[in-house]
Amino acid sequence: MVSFKAEIAAETVIRAEPESVWRILLDVRTYSEWNRFMLVVQGEILPGRILSVQARLSNLLRLQFAATIIELDPPWRLTWVGRLPVPGLFTGVHTFGLKRVPEGVRFLQSERYSGLLVPVMRRFLIDPSESGFRSMNEALRVRAEHEAADPTEVGHE
């Protein structure tokens, strides 16, 4: 069977501690306050759990999908997989990775796609997702650096 593949990624350096960035990333209840790419994430962030995710691909296009958490290594890595019900058509493996660097944290968001529908999905899903990753990374950087500069913002729930 022929299978197509694609990969996208966006990286940014955040001047904050890994634990602070991780806390913001996993506090999905506050995404509506700062995250214009992943509008809603519902579910428990635990291995094997299924999340319901709604992403904004453009001003007009939103995507809702289910994702299963396949890796959780706090505060360094979170990976989930989403796929169409028919095996081999379209699968996306999404990873959030943090790495300590002298300036703070290198945050990398990436996704590996595979399946017969990759060429069709490139224009409507894959390319818009890449700009969404950059937007989310920048918003996460701003939020984490703001909280690092003003510790009274932490735990404002």
Tens digit of each residue's pLDDT, the chain (157 residues)? 566 999 999 999 999 999 999 999 999 999 999 999 999 999 999 999 999 999 999 888 899 999 999 999 999 999 999 999 898 999 999 999 999 999 999 999 999 999 999 999 998 899 999 999 999 999 999 999 999 887 666 554 4
| 4 DSSP β-pair partners | 115
Spatial CB neighbours of 61, under 8 Å, sequence gap ≥ 6: 124, 128
Domains annotated for the chain, with CATH where assigned, are: 4-149 (3.30.530.20)
